[in-house]
Amino acid sequence: MIVKQRLTAGAFLLSYGFLIAIVVMVAIFSLYSPNFFSLKNALFILHAAAPSMILATGVALVLMTGKIDISIGSTAYLSVAIGVMLMRGLHVNPILAMLIILPIGAFLGAVNGFVVVVLKVNPLIATLGSYFTFRGLALQVSNSMTISIPAQLGNIGSLRIGPVFIDILFAAVVLAIFQLIHTRTVFGRHVMAVGNGAEVAQKVGIPVDRTSFLTFMLAGLMASIGGVLTMFQVSSLSPTLGQGYEFTAIALLVIGGVSLFGGEGTIFPGIVLGALALTIIQSGLNFIGASVFVYPLVRGGIIFIAMYADSLKNMRKRQVKVLAEQG
Amino acid sequence: MRTTEPVPAGTTAIHRDSSQIIRFIPMGGLLLILVVLSAVVPYFLSVNNFVSILVQCSSLGLMAIGLTAVLITGGMDLSIPSLMSFSAVIGAIFMRSGGSPVIACVIMVLVATAGGCLNGFAVAYLRMIPFVVTLSTMAVFGGASIWVTNGMSVTGIPRGFITTVMHDIWIFPAPVVVLIVVAIIAHLFMTRSLYGRWLYAVGTNIRAARVSRIPAQGVLFGSYAFSGFVAGLAAIVTTAWLGTAGGTIGSEGVVLDVVSSAVLGGVSIYGGAGTALGAFVGAIFIKLISNTLNFVQASYYMTLVVKGIVIVAFVALDSMFRRRAGGTL
Amino acid sequence: MTAPSLVMTGIKKSFPGVKALKGVSFEAFPGESLAMIGANGAGKSTLMNILGGVVQPDEGQITIDGEETLIHSPSEAARLGIAFVHQELALMPTLSILDNMLISSFPTRNGLIDYDRGEVLCREALSRLGYEFNLRMQVRDLSPGDQQIVEIARTLLGKSRIVIFDEPTSSLTSREKERLFEIIRYLKSEGTTIIYITHLLDEIFTICEKAVILRNGEKVAQSAVKDLTRDGIVEKMIGSQEVVSYFQHHARQPGPVLLTVENFQREGYLDNINFSIHRGEVVGLWGLLGSGRTELFRAMMGLDQITGGRILIDMGRGARPIRPHSGKNPMGLVTEDRRTDGLLLPMSIRNNLSLANLRNFISRLWPFIARTREEAAANEYVRKLNIKSTSIEQRVATLSGGNQQKVVVGRWLQTSPLVFLMDEPTRGLDVEAKAELHSIISGLADSGAAVMFVSSDLDEIMSLSDRFLVMVRGRLVKELPRETTKHELLATASGMTGTMGGE
């Protein structure tokens, strides 16, 4: 049975803590450097955050089913690398090459899905394995070279409509689509149901395996899209593409309220908040002149806090009143 | 309701243990590779070569042994290489500014153990998920390394340190001796001591362990503290071997190697099985695979691919055997 | 004469070591509520799980509305119009009421969920039960009673013709119970067939028209409720003459008080428990499912935190309080489910036997376990308890249930506890193993220890116990002497006879 939760100060803090923290951070950074709190800066922040937001949408669904995927950075790199090599090596039409990247990403996601759902391997190990396998393949395919892409494509990365970067709009569209999927499709509801408890979901007739498999495919697809976007932003394919992305995505999601335990969280505003939090910290640290190397440490610390908060939230959820023993 | 029928008493059930077969695959595989390599590579069977392989594995082997303790309890520790790197950096900086190498070694071990204790505390007492905790400590310590060193390797390590750590004891360099000694002690400890029994009990069935009054939380804490400690030893060895500390010395593939070593050495991801000696063998196995792939001129990248596939395959087999044997995952 | 909506014929089902159903048949009619009655383990849950598609019968037929069918899964059951409101509700805590109700059958339009239509359907179903909720609320914020309403409303959406309720009132307040009964009356008026599983006799007389009584996997009675009396039901539930000859009890003089539990409180599970145990006695802890017996044991062992109360141990020099989870706690616990929290299945007998006693095997030479001593002890207990095995290295998973249980007992014996707590020690064991365990239990008391055990087998608990403590819903309601009748025991546990601090 499930028990009523009372809204205590603790619960409030857990749910809204990060939001408050973001506001506080923005205030501090703005005091320090007046330029921080400007529209231009805000747009730059969003621009930088766009690829991570897109990647995160895919992983979000995987997390919501209570599983995990730490291979998306490598998936991004591999799918993009294949596309680029097709373009350069086989002289495939650039547009076509870019488009092919997407189904490749979905396929790689499907491989993950297969290993986790069909072979029943622990998702952590499975995606740890693909993290290295995909990256290795990608480095092999691209010879770990930095390859610049044709100008016409590269320019897409910095296109704007007025002052607003196009990729921000693109990310917004992706978020909107996923929000719709999450809240208004049967699949989206099934994802949340599985995350609440796979056995109960099975009892009610939900296709648990199929749902999980699809989430992995989507994660792969979004990873490839995010990879393409990153490539556009820096106008080249670099051997470090996607590195650390899985980390950022998970941190962003946990901060934004998607629980690692499954069944909780939102696309909007969760992902936006998480992405904002991370990029604000990053750019804020920049602004106050902290060394570039502080950021990974700070990010690590934030991840720890966010995950601790997640654990706490999960424990409260579990304080259930059970008067009935199992028969 | 379990699905396994209890075997009527009196049947010889000892041989029916397919889930244990997987523990022997790496041994068999190792032997196979050794045979193949010794046939193919001219100087392979020389003592020199063996010693050289062992030296290469000393750091990896140590870390794999540390991870084994954690894996046996059913946990996971992704932060071991980062802990090693960070403590190495701290020790190196200390030495660079004129500190005594001996004290530096102590510092490295202490720092790494402290990191392990942090992990242990979060898992055992804050009841967080091991993967999550160690993922974040991996980020924290990795980030801290980079921050403290400004992204550059720490040089200027006194010669004395290097020669002392790397000097030979009989035919083996000290690191190898340390590795072997640690492996043996850890193995004996895990398989024969009180705490070792507790370790396996907690990993097999933590609820039953608690009912039997085993201090399960303490055991969990200790396993992470141990892996931190061993990471500190690995830090000493690696710093002496490379002559520098920090930077991004192939840190990416190391976690995979450490986990693969343990898994191939027969340590189960799911807990309750595996030994320190197994991890030791696993580390050698991994190194041999790398060297072999190198020898046939496969690129570094292909080794990543191969390792990724091997580890997934191993765990898939492990879970399959476990399910056949009727156990729970 | 209306035709029955449901007929189950000759249903047989066995699980490893246990014949749960030995050929049960019954009929149910639309617009009627059929009570499915039986003590713990009588087979009612299994029978209903078969109807609900959770479990497959070994033999037998199911006929619904005149058509013979097979029910292979819960979704198939749902399609046939069977709804099962389990004791553990099948709800998703973080989802809204709306989502929970629609989860198996969302109305869609253009690929998206048509929430407008969904809302209308849900509101309608809920209002038929007389309820109105904010449909966007998360289900975990509702009270257990309200949650149950949601689950019942879900069954209405599916236009279920047969609704099974499994012990529905265990977590309800009396107001909520009343509400539930009204809903059931409403469902009946719509022609739904209700099957109501319970062992609470009062409810049967309130809400059911017919009753089927099961005992030991067989149907022992089916009749209209108006033709039954409370005593009659109880008698049928427990049977008049036991065929199995149970343990011959011999009188024991209990020694001085050994252990006293004072004011044990555990929020939500235990309420103000007070009792004492004497040396050399066997105390039977009796109660129905959910009465809190396992929780009491766990609290005594320090496995769960208590919010109040204490334990006093008197070893001859005055009563001294001890902390339940301290190492000095002289109690041993044989848990209810040896497989999940009793044994290390992949490990050897020797390993399992020494688990609680490892400290005593540490060699004097070095900090390792002295194998020889450990092996000697293991062999000793294998002999003492007659554990049938090929060697002490045999993996415990391959032993029979009875021998496994002996290993668990043996583990505690090694620590020479003063008090043995045993939770369903003979569950799932064959007659011979049960008998062996009975003599072990009695032997323990004879040697001066105290044994407190839980059993759902009335015959067993009556044959072994020197006295009884009865629990109902987390409270210790009565202490009964050895001479108590079966009838009285069952009645007390069902909450019928005057309870101390009852509802």
Tokens standing for B239? 């710093």
- How many secondary structure helices (H) and strands (E) does chain C include? 16, 22
Number of domains in chain A: 1
Report the amino acid identity of residue C243.
Answer: V
Please say if the pLDDT value at position B6 is more than 50: no
In contact, A86 and A98? CB cutoff 8 Å? no
Angle formed at CA B257 by CA B251 and CA B261, multiple of 5 degrees? 150
Number of domains in chain C: 3
Averaged pLDDT, C442-447: 87
Nearest to C92 among A5, A193, A327 (CB): A193
CB contact under 8 A, C398 and B11: yes
Tokens standing for A26? 């923005």
Q: Return residues 274-313 of B near A (CB < 8 Å).
A: 299-309, 311-312
Residues of B in contact with A293 (CB under 8 A): 143, 146-147, 149-151
Give the 3-state secondary structure of residue C109: strand
Interface check A130 vs B, CB under 8 A: yes
Query: Are residues C366 and C307 located together in one domain of the fold?
Result: no
Distance in angstroms (rounded) separating the CA atoms of residues A76 and A82? 10
- Per-residue model confidence (pLDDT) at position A67: 92
Residues of B in contact with C327 (CB under 8 A): 213
Bin C85: left if φ > 0, else alpha if -120 < ψ < 50, else beta. Answer: beta
Tokens standing for B36? 């193949």
**pLDDT by residue (tens digit) across A282-297?**
777 777 777 777 777 7
Query: Are residues C375 and C262 located together in one domain of the fold?
Result: no
On whether residue C81 sits in a domain, the answer given is: yes
Nearest to C170 among A192, A205, A324 (CB): A324
Give the 3-state secondary structure of residue A98: helix
Give me the phi and psi of C29, to 5 degrees please. Answer: -120, 155
Residues of B in contact with A311 (CB under 8 A): 126-129, 132
- Per-residue model confidence (pLDDT) at position A103: 94
Please say if the pLDDT value at position B5 is more than 60: no
Min Cα separation B20/chain C (Å): 10
Query: Are residues C152 and C129 located together in one domain of the fold?
Result: yes
Tokens standing for B303? 């080794």
CB contact under 8 A, C268 and A200: no
DSSP state of C3: P
Distance in angstroms (rounded) separating the CA atoms of residues C391 and C348? 9
Min Cα separation C330/chain B (Å): 11
Give the 3-state secondary structure of residue C319: strand
User: Which residue matches tokens 């044989």?
Assistant: C334
Q: Return residues 102-121 of A near B (CB < 8 Å).
A: 115, 119-121
Min Cα separation A282/chain B (Å): 13
Kindly report which listed range (B159-163, C15-19, C206-210, C229-233) carries the lowest average pLDDT score.
C15-19
Interface check C173 vs A, CB under 8 A: no
Mutate to test the interface with B, among C19, C355, C371, C429 (most CBs of B within 10 A): C355
- Per-residue model confidence (pLDDT) at position C240: 53
Query: Are residues C185 and C281 located together in one domain of the fold?
Result: no
Task: Determine which helix (DSSP H) or strand (DSSP E) holds B101, and give its type and residue range.
Answer: helix B101-124
Q: For the purposes of burial, counting CB atoms within 10 Å of the CB of C67, is it exposed (0-12), middle (13-18) or buried (19 or more)?
A: exposed
Distance in angstroms (rounded) separating the CA atoms of residues B235 and A113? 37
Please say if the pLDDT value at position C235 is more than 80: no
Q: Return residues 74-103 of B near A (CB < 8 Å).
A: 76
Task: Determine which helix (DSSP H) or strand (DSSP E) holds B23, and give its type and residue range.
Answer: helix B18-40
Residues of A in contact with C285 (CB under 8 A): none
Interface check C92 vs A, CB under 8 A: yes
Min Cα separation B195/chain C (Å): 9
Give the 3-state secondary structure of residue C35: strand
- Per-residue model confidence (pLDDT) at position B249: 52
Residues of C in contact with A196 (CB under 8 A): 92-95
Last residue of a domain, one of C238, C265, C296: C238
Residue-number span of the structural domain to which A273 is assigned:
50-283+293-307
Question: What's the order of all strands across the beta sheet hosting C210-215?
Answer: C82-85, C162-166, C193-198, C33-37, C210-215, C218-224
The CA–CA distances, whole Å, from C401 to B9, C153, C184, C218, C434 equal 10, 42, 42, 24, 10
Min Cα separation C497/chain A (Å): 21
Query: Are residues C466 and C424 located together in one domain of the fold?
Result: yes
On whether residue C427 sits in a domain, the answer given is: yes
Residue-number span of the structural domain to which C468 is assigned:
255-330+417-503
Give the 3-state secondary structure of residue A101: helix
Distance in angstroms (rounded) separating the CA atoms of residues A317 and C137? 16
CATH fold for domain B46-319: ABC transporter involved in vitamin B12 uptake, BtuC (1.10.3470)
Nearest to B301 among A120, A128, A140 (CB): A140
Distance in angstroms (rounded) separating the CA atoms of residues C313 and B281? 52
Distance in angstroms (rounded) separating the CA atoms of residues A193 and A196? 5
Residues of A in contact with B129 (CB under 8 A): 260, 311
On whether residue A317 sits in a domain, the answer given is: no
Angle formed at CA A211 by CA A206 and CA A216, multiple of 5 degrees? 165
Nearest to C290 among A3, A196, A325 (CB): A325
CB contact under 8 A, B6 and C16: yes
Distance in angstroms (rounded) separating the CA atoms of residues C198 and B22? 49
For residue C442, how far is the Cα from the chain centroid? Answer: 24
Please say if the pLDDT value at position C253 is more than 60: yes
Write out the DSSP string of C143-175: -HHHHHHHHHHHHHHTT-SEEEEESTTTT--HH
**C22: Cβ–Cβ under 8 A, 6 or more apart, which residues?**
C12, C216, C217, C218
Min Cα separation A267/chain C (Å): 15
- Per-residue model confidence (pLDDT) at position C501: 34
Give me the phi and psi of C52, to 5 degrees please. Answer: -85, 5
Nearest CA in chain C to A320: C268
In contact, B227 and B77? CB cutoff 8 Å? yes
Give the 3-state secondary structure of residue B22: helix
CB contact under 8 A, B140 and A301: yes
Specify the higher pLDDT residue, A14 or C394.
Answer: C394
Chains that touch A (3 or more CB pairs under 8 A): B, C
- Beta-ladder partners of C221: C213
In contact, C453 and C445? CB cutoff 8 Å? no
- Per-residue model confidence (pLDDT) at position B11: 28
Chains A, B: CB contacts within 8 A come to 138
Q: For the purposes of burial, counting CB atoms within 10 Å of the CB of C498, is it exposed (0-12), middle (13-18) or buried (19 or more)?
A: exposed
In contact, C377 and C354? CB cutoff 8 Å? yes
Kindly report which listed range (A261-275, B26-40, C110-124, C346-360) carries the lowest average pLDDT score.
B26-40
**Residue (of A248, A239, A205) closest to A72 by Cα position:** A248
**pLDDT by residue (tens digit) across B221-250?**
999 999 999 999 999 988 888 877 776 654
Distance in angstroms (rounded) separating the CA atoms of residues C464 and C484? 13
Nearest to A189 among C103, C473, C474 (CB): C103
The number of beta carbons lying within 10 Å of the beta carbon of residue B266 is 24
Give the 3-state secondary structure of residue B215: coil
CB contact under 8 A, B213 and C368: no
CB contact under 8 A, C88 and A324: yes
Most confident of B104-118, C65-79, C305-319: B104-118
Averaged pLDDT, B175-197: 91
Residues of B in contact with C368 (CB under 8 A): 188, 192-193
DSSP state of C94: T
Nearest to A311 among B127, B135, B143 (CB): B127
B192-195 long-range Cβ contacts below 8 angstroms, 24+ apart? B192/C368, B192/C369, B193/C367, B193/C368, B193/C369, B194/C358, B194/C359, B194/C362, B194/C367, B194/C369, B195/B219, B195/B222
Specify the higher pLDDT residue, A309 or B191.
Answer: B191
Distance in angstroms (rounded) separating the CA atoms of residues A273 and A53? 10
Residues of A in contact with C45 (CB under 8 A): 327
DSSP state of C138: B
DSSP state of C262: E
**Residue (of B77, B113, B130, B88) closest to B241 by Cα position:** B88
Distance in angstroms (rounded) separating the CA atoms of residues B201 and B206? 7
Most confident of B209-218, C201-210, C215-224: B209-218
Interface check A293 vs B, CB under 8 A: yes
**pLDDT by residue (tens digit) across B43-66?**
666 677 777 778 888 899 999 999
Last residue of a domain, one of C356, C390, C416: C416
Please, which pLDDT band fits residue A320 given cuts at 50, 70 and 90? very low
Q: Where are the beta strands (DSSP E) in C435-489?
A: 450-454, 467-472, 475-481
**pLDDT by residue (tens digit) across C484-495?**
888 888 888 876
Distance in angstroms (rounded) separating the CA atoms of residues C146 and C131? 9
Last residue of a domain, one of C238, C267, C297: C238
Kindly report which listed range (A152-156, A211-215, B288-292, C330-334) carries the lowest average pLDDT score.
A152-156
Nearest to A324 among C113, C140, C289 (CB): C289
Task: Collect all residues from A whose CB is shorter than 8 A from any CB in C.
Answer: 1-5, 180, 184-186, 189-190, 192-193, 195-197, 200-201, 203-206, 263-264, 317, 321-327
Please say if the pLDDT value at position A1 is more than 50: no
Q: Where are the beta strands (DSSP E) in C106-226?
A: 108-109, 112-113, 162-166, 193-198, 210-215, 218-224
Tokens standing for C44? 């009612």
Interface check C143 vs A, CB under 8 A: yes
What CATH number corresponds to the domain at position A297? Answer: 1.10.3470
What CATH number corresponds to the domain at position C54? Answer: 3.40.50.300
Query: How much of chain A, in percent, has pLDDT values that exceed 70?
Result: 85
Chains B, C: CB contacts within 8 A come to 105
Tokens standing for B31? 């032997």
Nearest to B205 among C15, C344, C400 (CB): C344
Nearest CA in chain B to C14: B1
DSSP state of A114: I
Chains that touch C (3 or more CB pairs under 8 A): A, B
> Is the previous residue joined to B81 through a cis bond, with omega within 30 degrees of 0?
no
Give me the phi and psi of C157, to 5 degrees please. Answer: -60, -35
Report the amino acid identity of residue A82.
Answer: I
Please give the ipTM for the structure prediction.
0.80
Please, which pLDDT band fits residue A89 given cuts at 50, 70 and 90? confident
| Beta strand C282-287 pairing with C331-334 | unpaired
Min Cα separation C314/chain A (Å): 32
Please say if the pLDDT value at position B208 is more than 80: yes
In contact, B140 and A300? CB cutoff 8 Å? yes
